[in-house]
Structure 1
Amino acid sequence: MNNSRYGNVMAALSFVIWGLLPIYYRYLPNAAMDELLALRIIGSVPVGILLVFAMTRRWPNWAEIWQDQKSLGYAFLASSLMCISWVAFIWALTNNRVIDASLGFFIGPLISVALGVFVLGDKLSKGKFAAILLAAVGVIYQVVLYGKLPMVALTMGLFFSLYGLFKKKVNYNWSTTLFVEALLLTPIACGYLLFKQVTVGNLSSTVDLGTFLLYLGSAPVTILPLIFYSIAIRITSLSSVGLMQYIEPSLQFILAVLFFGELFDSVKAVTFAFIWVGLLLTVIEGVFSRARRGKMPAHPV
């Protein structure tokens, strides 16, 4: 399997897992987002250390990490951007707004593709261009009809796409990058929880053992798809990964409408229809492109 195809498989796995995450967070209605984020960051450190050891058979090389301070800075920036997207995402999931989360990750690929083209120099095919145009029309239609921007969705999409952009600038291997991202934010997370404990009293996440374990469990359930995503983002183009992201919101949309009973009105139907037609065009283009490559005569030796 070549690198591009392997990267696409890894991206697909990450987005399938993220697409199913609403099921987990249904057990945490109206969660304290600040505590959930802090415990998720703290819990990611031991998971990250074990991950690095499992993949390299050695512990993290601190000297090597410190020597590349530019990558250290990019890793800190990337992890901070991811936190913003993650907070918006989890807020939507724990407040019966899964459709909003779904829309956010339909918008995200548009931004990823645009960043890939204008910042990293990726080539934009006609199918991808049509997908971006149709999705933009769908979002604009919703803005005009509702009279307001879908802020939760835009926050999720924008900051997750920026996270992917800055991850491509980090020179560590993917497992070290994940570990460093969590490690850099851990002092801030620990300091925040200590400050809140002193000033407010008992943390809501520690009221009972079950809630605390669910908060702490958010680390491994979010690290797993990040593993696959980190592999994909290193070996395939940002625009390709961005379009693969459509798997995630499609699954979230199905969960929201069929299983969680969220309202899906005609305005949202039009928005999603534009997006899905655009996605269908990219799929058709990919099928024909592979068929043409298969029919091309071999070069003479």
Structure 2
Amino acid sequence: MFARIHGNVIATIAFVLWGLLPLYFQFLPQADTNELIAMRIIFSVPLMLLILKCLKIPNLSFTQAMKNKQSLCLCFIAGILNCISLYAFTWAITNDQVLAASLGYFINPLFSIAFGVLFLKDRLTWAQKAAVVFAICGIAYQVHYYGELPWLSLVMGSFFALYGLTKKYIKFDSLTSMSVEVTLLMPFALGYVLFGYLDQSSTVLAGNMTTFWLYAGAAPVTLLPLVFFALAVERTTLTMIGLTQYIEPSLQFILAVFIFGEVLDQVKIVSFGFIWIGLILCTVEALVFSRMALRRA
């Protein structure tokens, strides 16, 4: 089915789903983030196996995986990096900090650019250099007025960029890699939930079935966008991925201001403004390069 759908459409679906995630987590205000992440990991394992089967992708057994210990280790690291970013995101949107989540994903591409330069020897274009400078100005403006760094946003953006960087070195295909990541983390998640049950401190196991399924539902609502994203990367250009990814933080920004009523003060307007200017420059440059490439083809 997905083979017949244009990659740009799949990418749009992925980022729309990501952008609408705060709507789901509003049913879990002040949720226990540790248990939420643990339940997400546990239920992601059977879900990923089902997705692999539906898409007719061969399952990678642990016997085969162990033959490539480097990629197996990198899958574990990638899983942890994704969990840290997801933890910050989940805490933000369950504690009335959706604007912080939006900012985190607006600056994520800039972290990706920086890591590309540092680790992959990429060269910055003039627009990318300007975007990095504008982002630094935006964050510096917040620090100047608030007296502290926007830690939630920085953790979300940087660790998700590190997750993407780590995936560059993994030899498995993207969906198999995701399956391995959650499978390796599942024993730790099960141990945490079991400890909470025995210690009688568990929120999800001590609550009603509605709470249980809302926590379990964190698996499909956070995993499906990643699956669509992985499929889109194989079917469209990185330029289009870069352009469509701003759908996600834009939707979160709109939800934060117009649905959840978060305060958009002058400091946040100026800070977002600096970052938006840089992203607009990168977008325009990417469109120009894309059209030039099409003309040459």
RMSD over aligned Cα atoms: 2.3
- The two structures have a TM-score, normalised by structure 2, of 0.90
Which shows bigger deviation, 103-112 or 230-239? 230-239
Q: Deviations over 1:98-150 (max 9, x none)?
A: 00111111222111111122211334222222222212211111111111111
- The answer to whether 1:113 aligns with 2:113 is yes
Question: Residue in 1 aligned with 2:3?
Answer: none
Q: Deviations over 1:188-246 (max 9, x none)?
A: 011111111112x1621131111110100110111111113334567889898567543
**Cα separation, partners in 2 of 1:293 and 1:260, compared to 1, 3 Å:** same
Q: Amino acid of the residue matched to residue 120 of structure 2?
A: L
Question: Residue in 2 aligned with 1:187?
Answer: 187
> How big is the shift at 1:48?
1.0
- The two structures have a TM-score, normalised by structure 1, of 0.89
> How big is the shift at 1:15?
2.5
Q: Matches of residues 69-80 of structure 1 in structure 2 within 5 Å? A: 69-80=69-80
Query: For the Cα contact (< 8 Å) 1:113–1:238, is it kept in 2?
Result: no
CA distance in 1 between counterparts of 2:162 and 2:75 reads 12
**Cα separation, partners in 2 of 1:14 and 1:272, compared to 1, 3 Å:** same
> How big is the shift at 1:182?
0.5
Query: For the Cα contact (< 8 Å) 1:44–1:219, is it kept in 2?
Result: yes
CA distance in 2 between counterparts of 1:53 and 1:176 reads 11
Query: For the Cα contact (< 8 Å) 1:164–1:238, is it kept in 2?
Result: no
> How big is the shift at 1:167?
1.1
SS of aligned partner of 2:120? coil
Which shows bigger deviation, 59-68 or 203-212? 59-68
Question: Residue in 2 aligned with 1:143?
Answer: 143
SS of aligned partner of 2:254? helix
Identity %: 46
Query: For the Cα contact (< 8 Å) 1:168–1:234, is it kept in 2?
Result: no
Question: Residue in 2 aligned with 1:61?
Answer: 61
CA distance in 2 between counterparts of 1:80 and 1:294 reads 39
Q: Matches of residues 195-274 of structure 1 in structure 2 within 5 Å? A: 195-199=195-199, 201=200, 203-206=202-205, 207-231=207-231, 245-274=245-274
> How big is the shift at 1:50?
1.0
Structure 2 residue ranges without an equivalent (≥5): 1-5
**Cα separation, partners in 2 of 1:286 and 1:119, compared to 1, 3 Å:** same
Query: For the Cα contact (< 8 Å) 1:113–1:239, is it kept in 2?
Result: no
CA distance in 2 between counterparts of 1:123 and 1:232 reads 25
Question: Residue in 2 aligned with 1:3?
Answer: none
SS of aligned partner of 2:277? helix
CA distance in 2 between counterparts of 1:14 and 1:116 reads 23
Which shows bigger deviation, 242-251 or 215-224? 242-251
**Cα separation, partners in 2 of 1:134 and 1:12, compared to 1, 3 Å:** farther
**Cα separation, partners in 2 of 1:229 and 1:92, compared to 1, 3 Å:** same
CA distance in 2 between counterparts of 1:27 and 1:105 reads 22
Query: For the Cα contact (< 8 Å) 1:35–1:193, is it kept in 2?
Result: yes
CA distance in 1 between counterparts of 2:293 and 2:227 reads 31
CA distance in 1 between counterparts of 2:96 and 2:286 reads 35
SS of aligned partner of 2:278? helix
Instruction: Give the count of matched residue pairs.
Output: 291
Structure 1 residue ranges without an equivalent (≥5): 1-5
CA distance in 1 between counterparts of 2:242 and 2:133 reads 15
Query: For the Cα contact (< 8 Å) 2:45–2:179, is it kept in 1?
Result: yes
CA distance in 2 between counterparts of 1:57 and 1:181 reads 16
CA distance in 2 between counterparts of 1:220 and 1:295 reads 41
Question: Residue in 1 aligned with 2:126?
Answer: 126
**Cα separation, partners in 2 of 1:238 and 1:12, compared to 1, 3 Å:** same
Which shows bigger deviation, 19-28 or 273-282? 273-282
Which shows bigger deviation, 89-98 or 64-73? 64-73
> How big is the shift at 1:53?
1.7
**Cα separation, partners in 2 of 1:58 and 1:162, compared to 1, 3 Å:** closer
SS of aligned partner of 2:20? helix
